[in-house]
Amino acid sequence: PSSPHTDACSPDTSLPGPMPPCEFETFKLLSDEELLKIIRAMGKKTCSLDPMPSTMVSSILVELLPTISQIVSESRSKGIFPDAYKEAVIRPAYKGKGLSSEDFGSYRPINNLPFVSKIIEKCVSLQLTEYLEKNKLLSGVQSAYRK
């Protein structure tokens, strides 16, 4: 007899053995309101690869929302990140603190990504994090890079 499907896939710690299988099958569609909330909560830093400044996008966001929503939905439903959004402008940032400005190790790379790229990334990140937390798949000792 098969057991009923449950959303949680956390292991029963009282029993030895592998964790029950769990699957992330698909991303849920976001409503325009959800997408709008995500975009408005994001920083407005513009990348030189953007066709228009992020501040301008914000000022006409309601008009652009159907197009942005389609790009985000298509990317997530097909599992394809558009090539145009895979490019970044990378700048070296000096770490300072008495380090030699002539040593490459004294710098860290700063990636500046296109605005729509960051929107797709944020939408994916939010849903994956929600899934991992709901199913107790995140390590309790991991504290960095969660959100």
> Per-residue pLDDT tens for 34-56?
999 999 999 888 889 999 998 89
Instruction: Give the whole-angstrom CA distance, residue 123 versus residue 127.
Output: 6
Confidence of residue 9 (pLDDT cuts 50, 70, 90): low
Residue 93, strand partner residues: 108
**In this predicted structure, what is the pLDDT of residue 20?**
59
For the entire predicted model, the pTM comes to: 0.76
pLDDT at 24: 79
Q: Which residue has the higher pLDDT, 51 or 6?
A: 51
Amino acid type, 89: V
